[in-house]
Every structure is written in C-alpha cells, then in structure tokens.
A and B are shown apart, each in its own frame.
Chain A
Amino acid sequence: EIQMTQSPSSLSASVGDRVTITCRASQSVGTSLHWYLQKPGTAPKLLIYAVSNLQGEISSRFSATGSGTDFTLTISNLQPEDSAYYYCQQAYGTSTFGQGTKVEIK
C-alpha cells in the first residue's frame, strides 16, 4: 500500500502570505494525486485533481505541482476563508490519503 506523508502537520500564517504544503509518496503515483480542503464539521472538498488541475470554481490562488513521489500545494495571498485542513490523496493503486495539514490564520 502506498503511504502518503504530508508536511507540515500544521502551519500558521498571516493574511496575504503564501504557504506551501508538501506531500510525499512512498512510491511513484504518476499523476494520480489530488488535493482536498476540509472545514470542521463538513465534508472534504476537491481542490485540485491530477497534480495541478483546479476543480470547478476553486480560486486561482490555489496551485499545485509535482511528479512521481513529490508534490506541493501552494496557497497565494492567504485569506481568512482558507483556514482549514488540507489533504493529499493518491489514487494510483488503492487510494490513500495523507495525514492532513492544518492551516490557521494568525
């Protein structure tokens, strides 16, 4: 089973900052890497699919890149509504999620 390791586990940043979350797979997952946002008490929401593709009406402040085993999610111009948990997910083999990153606004 492919293991996904996210870092950091939490971060605190100010409005307007740029933050980056990384996700590392225990083996190559090709382009089957997706990112989600989850706010407390709600279902996860797909942010980015297949490494770098923005889902639906997701803000262009979100971007992502990577290949093989190393991936990053970047939030530019951080806004208060970005306060949430962020998860990466690989779907190359049977699916697994990273352990999550809590993003807080200072």
Chain B
Amino acid sequence: QLQLQESGPGLLKPSEALSLTCTVSGGSITSDSYYWGWVRQPPGKGLEWIATIYYTGATYITVPLRGRVTMSIDTSKNQFSLRLNYVTAADTATYYCASHPSGDVRRGAFDFWGQGTMVTVSS
C-alpha cells in the first residue's frame, strides 16, 4: 500500500517560487505501475489538477499553469517534486500529492493521496 507525504514551505511572498516534495513509501517511484501527480484546493473551493509525471520523466501539466510549473523525480530519495514559479495570492491552496495506476481502465484515477500541505502566498 502506497503512502505519500507532502513537504513544503507553508508561506511564500508574491513572485517567489513554490517548491513542494512528495515522499513515497510502500512502493518505488520508478515503478511502471504508477503515475505521480499534484492536485490543489484553494480555501473553500474545489479541486484543481496541476500536473502528473511518469517514471520516464514524461510530464503532463494543466493548461492554465503551463509555463510556470515543472515536475521532477528523485529516484535516490523516492520522491517527486513540484515547482511553481511566480506565485500570487491565487496560488494559495492546500496542495495534495497523489498517485494513480498506469493502464487504460484506471487512467487518472488517483487512489492514493497525501494528507495535503497548506501553502499561503502573502506579502
């Protein structure tokens, strides 16, 4: 059973870069059985998928955030990361890391989630 845990700064100033890390346990980040992703939720609002990465490095990013988002994998630490550049107050949200199985039927269905980490952007 996979377990995911986010870590990050908590508070940022506008125009700074947000870096979040998700540590995976119970499975390998290099497994071809999973994709690794990020989903965020502004306070009191709904879910927004941000991006997903596969162990090959193939990355998929939501259209509104392309140009500001990159993802990466650190195989030595069994972690994957999100970087969001030039943050504004609109990026204030709880950020979740999550995983979904590879394969057609369960494509995109996030079945393991971290507990979430709150990120506030404020001057």
Once the chains are docked, how many angstroms separate the CA of A46 from the CA of B98?
Answer: 11
Give the one of A44, A85, A95 with max B CB within 10 A.
Answer: A95
> What is the size, in residues, of chain A's interface with B at 8 Å between Cβ atoms?
28
Residues of B near A45 (CB, < 8 A) are: 113
* Interface status of A87 (Cβ within 8 A of chain B): yes
* Interface status of A72 (Cβ within 8 A of chain B): no
Task: Please tell me if the beta carbons of B49 and A50 are within 8 angstroms of each other in the complex.
Answer: no
Q: Considering the complex, give the chain A residue whose CB is closest to the CB of B50.
A: A95
Tell me the chain A residues, 42-92 only, with Cβ under 8 Å from chain B.
42-46, 49-50, 53, 55-56, 85, 87, 89-91
Q: Which of these, B52, B63, B106, B114, contacts A50 with CB under 8 Å?
A: B106
Task: Please tell me if the beta carbons of B109 and A94 are within 8 angstroms of each other in the complex.
Answer: no
Q: Which of these, B48, B60, B109, B116, contacts A43 with CB under 8 Å?
A: B116
Known A1-B63, A94-B60; contact A55-B111, beta-carbon cutoff 8 A: yes
Min CB gap A56→B, angstroms: 8
Min CB gap B103→A, angstroms: 10
- Interfacial residues, chain A to chain B (CB-CB below 8 A): 1, 31-32, 34, 36, 38, 42-46, 49-50, 53, 55-56, 85, 87, 89-91, 94-100
